[in-house]
Structure 1
Amino acid sequence: MSRAPRSSSPADRREVTPRAATRTLSEDPLGGTVRRTVLPSGLRVLTEAIPTTRSVSFGVWVAVGSRDETGTQSGAAHFLEHLLFKGTHKRTALDISAQIEAVGGETNAFTTKEYTCYYARVLDEDLPLAIDVMCDLVADSVLAAADVETERGVILEEIAMHDDEPGDEVHDLFVRAVYGDHPLGRLISGTEETVTPMTRRQIHHFYRRRYTPPQIVVAAAGNLDHAAVLRLVRQALRGTPLDTERAAPAPPRPRTPGVRTRPAATVVEPKETEQAHVILGCPGIDRLDERRFALGVLNNVLGGGMSSRLFQEIRERRGLAYSVYSYASQYADSGLFAVYAGCAPGKLDEVLTLTRAELGRVAADGLTEAEVARGKGMSKGSFVLGLEDTGSRMSRLAKGELLYGTLMPVDELLARVDAVTVDEVNALAAELLARPMSLAVVGPFGADDFTG
């Protein structure tokens, strides 16, 4: 005998909105209150309330970059970044730009090897507009076939322009020398050979497969209220492809072994340039390596400023180059350390000789206590001064969540830098700077000019 269904009360029939989990991460004396909410879909919202400002920076960050592409997809993440500004089901491309510019705001985006960011900066009173526009373009872009063809031409021009900048090209040449065919070695923009045949279907598939709530972090910093931001984000995403079923947030990109680097090599791109551009470097450490704070100190002293060893020796004392510096790039499971210099072609041999000698000296003899103290001061000062605007604070929230899965308080980070010892820096220098170095050169040379 079947039983008649029980009639439901009005309370039973009410739509139940899934609860979001919110917690306060910090109340920083150097900033404001930081809060984090995980929506049922897995999308995360982080805010830093800074009541003393009159602006807000708002960003939508996606844990997808060029290293997530296959060989034939090379350039898809960057192509998609362009296309999302071309129109949604609610707004044309002109609407997107005009609505933000009408209130004096600005929008932009960028693609890296491991994530993509779309952001806006507006007056605090215009934050609801910025949230609606930026969430709309990330969640519900049309990707019209005509826009794909238009932006293809724009991107090909961008690639050509990049090829005309030898100071940029040498960095790409160096990365390929180290990583080869690994996704980390590919150009973020893709190449003419990969971008030209890329179809709207391929890009749309990449979009819908990769841009999912668990992979997305929304971050905002400035004069704001967390609850209001949360309400506006949920409202902006309601009914879009990002309004999905329950899911857990994606963890940070795994620190997996197996990123193979190529043996040290010399690669030359012959070009009739007025200046030679050169990078000498090697594989470094990944971003979770506990030695990253020591690396920051080492980099500062070696080539991180006007007081650095390389700048003083090559530019100040000898006048051989206008630009010379060292840098470190860090990824989830790999990294790079390198020195760049731009000089007259006839001075390149001497610049390389001096650079190798300085690297050898630091590897063998290390840095002094005074140098390490200066390097630590540079690290702390640059970090704190970099937090003076809402854009950098917004970026800090998103990168902490996406890349590390946590937000290190400012005081803790400064303490970690303070805790770096001379022995730690010198042990890292002895290991890192003694590694075989790859050399990348763009200028009026041939490969035979750097043998022996």
Structure 2
Amino acid sequence: ETNAGKQSDFVKAITSTPLPDIAPVWVDYNKDIQKAKTGIADVMYVPNKDNSIFRLNYYFEQGNFNNRMLPIALQYLQFLGTDKLSSEEITKQFYNLAASFSANAGNEETTVTISGLQENFSKAVTLFEDLLRNCKPDAAALEALKDRMLKSRANNKTNKGAIAAAIQNYAIYGQNNPYNYVLTNEEIKSLKAEDLVALLHSLPNYKHEVLYYGPAPLAKMSADITKLHTLPNTWKETPKAIQFKPVKQGASQVLFNDYDAVQSEIYWVRDLGQYDAKNTAKIGIYNSYFGGGMGSVVFQTIRESKALAYSTYAFVQTPSKKEDDYTFVGYVGSQADKMNEAISSMNELLKDLPKTEQNFVNAIKSQKKDIETQRITKDGIIFNYLNARKKGLSEDMR
């Protein structure tokens, strides 16, 4: 039995020491983000008042769910050259400019980033724009990329983290789920360099927003990007995204993956219904109290008191979009001979939530302190706004 709720004289002395009040700093999207237009694209701007570094992002509300070739094409881009410059020469030029670029596609959004010194803004953006719009197929680079992808997939079959992610997706969405919505091995092998390059060339014609964090004034930045980033008169139609909805869980179900392993990995997964912003504070406190840290009920009971697991947690996962559902995820990683007892212990906590007043008070204090000390700065302000927008919010979601 743990001594939850009890404190030594030393701890009491520490906790009784008054701390200076720290006022929370809320993001005001209307004041902290300036907006403009470049052609038909919206621009979001946050000034960098600290140094001469800029970060320019092209933000697309499309990703793997719209086109499964898009993530592969963006990986392929870094290995390509143009008629004038090889891939190696482009890399050297970015290095000489003290600049870099990255391009990543998630399931539902894609971000292309160019960063570097503001004095080289025009040269860096011009270099990237030329690469994106004029890159040429490279069969050898594509074959090497395919080999790495297929090898990574083979390795994932023995990676417990990848296996866990796969079975959780299966539990939430069923057989057709986000985890396995990818090209098959045969489809990867049959990919053509010309198709991937054509997709890259067309990317600027799809609707996107321009996000800028840097020292240049908004008016100058907007004028510069209008010259450097050519846009069409109208956007190309975005491919329709596939939709995944959680399966309705009418009864408990056990999904079993039989892998040769020393330890047992057990997960609890449950759909909790559609997102509601009113639940934000309650979920934060619940996660902190029940299973979100070393002082939580789950950790203290299953690991510290009963020594049944090397790792354990439980939390409610908040969706990224207002249309999506909350998901409860619990976890116990234990020795195989302790698995049954560990499962019973977690089930007991889920059925009858222990009440420890001091822990609950601490959970509330922890949430308040996190809000008071958290600072959202730089281009994090813009991405915080984008995350809130997906949830249908127009104010700081905290």
Check whether TM > 0.5: yes
* In the alignment, structure 1 residue 228 sits paired with structure 2 residue 214: no
CA–CA distance in 1 between the matches of 2:34 and 2:86? 33
* Matched residue, 1:354: 345
Give the one of 320, 334, 337 matched to 2:324: 334
Q: Is the 8 A contact 1:105 1:122 kept in 2?
A: yes
Answer whether contact 2:122 2:228 (CA < 8 A) is retained.
no
Separation (CA, whole Å) in 2 of partners of 1:261 and 1:298: 24
Pairing of 1:1-400 with structure 2 (within 5 A): 33-41=32-40, 43-69=41-67, 75-87=68-80, 89=82, 91-137=85-131, 141-187=135-181, 190-200=183-193, 203=196, 212-214=205-207, 216-238=208-230, 243-246=231-234, 259-261=245-247, 263=249, 265-286=253-274, 289-327=277-315, 328=317, 330-332=319-321, 333-335=323-325, 336-362=327-353, 370=361, 373-374=364-365, 376-377=367-368, 380=371, 384-385=374-375, 387=376, 390=378, 392-393=380-381, 395-400=383-388
SS in 1 for 2:351: helix
Distance 1:185 1:413 in 2: 28
Q: Secondary structure, in 3 states, of the residue corresponding to 1:67?
A: coil
Report the TM-score, using the length of structure 2 for normalisation.
0.74
Whether the 8 Å CA contact 2:320–2:387 is kept in 1: the answer is no
Alignment-derived partner of residue 20 in structure 2 = none
Distance 1:33 1:114, change over 3 A: same
Q: For 1:290 and 1:174, how far apart are their aligned partners in 2?
A: 26
Q: How many angstroms apart in 2 are the aligned matches of 1:137 and 1:398? A: 27
Number of aligned residues? 366
More off after superposition, 48-57 vs 84-93 = 84-93
Q: Deviations over 1:181-216 (max 9, x none)?
A: 4453535x54434433344466467657776442x2
Report the 3-state secondary structure (helix = DSSP H, G, I; strand = E; otherwise coil) of the residue aligned with 1:47: strand
User: What is the one-letter code of the residue matched to 1:44?
Assistant: D
Alpha-carbon contact 1:44-1:218 (below 8 Å) kept: yes
TM-fit CA distance, 1:156: 1.6
1: CA distance, partners of 2:368 / 2:394? 22
The answer to whether the 8 A contact 1:59-1:117 is kept is yes
- Give the deviation of 1:174 after TM superposition: 0.8
Relative distance call for 1:133 and 1:32 in structure 2 (3 A) is farther
> Deviation at 1:98?
3.0
Matched position secondary structure for 1:245: coil
Please report how far the alpha carbon of residue 343 of structure 1 lies from its aligned counterpart in structure 2 after TM superposition.
Answer: 3.0
Measure the CA separation in 2 of the matches of 1:354 and 1:381: 35
Q: How far did residue 405 of structure 1 move?
A: 7.0
**Cα distance, 1:167–1:51 mapped onto 2, change above 3 Å:** same
| Conserved 8 A contact 1:310-1:355 | yes
Question: Matched residues in 1 for 2:91 and 2:360: separation?
Answer: 52
Unaligned ranges ≥5, structure 2: 1-25
RMSD: 4.1
Change (3 A) 1:87 1:200: closer
Structure 1 letter corresponding to 2:245: V
Identity of aligned residues (%): 14
Output one character per residue of 1:214-241: Cα deviation in whole Å (capped at 9) or x when no partner: 2x22223243432333233322322xxx
Query: Distance between the aligned counterparts of 1:367 and 1:142, measured in 2?
Result: 64
1:51: Cα distance to partner? 0.3
SS at match of 1:270: coil
Report Cα offsets for 1:243-277 as digits up to 9, x if no partner: 21145999xx99x9982515453323322223333
The aligned amino acid for 1:37 is A
2: CA distance, partners of 1:223 / 1:120: 15
C-alpha distance 398-204 of structure 1, shift in aligned 2 (>3 A): farther
Give the Cα–Cα distance (whole angstroms) in 1 for the partners of residues 335 and 179 of structure 2: 28
- Tell whether the 8 Å contact from 2:56 to 2:115 is kept in structure 1 after alignment: yes
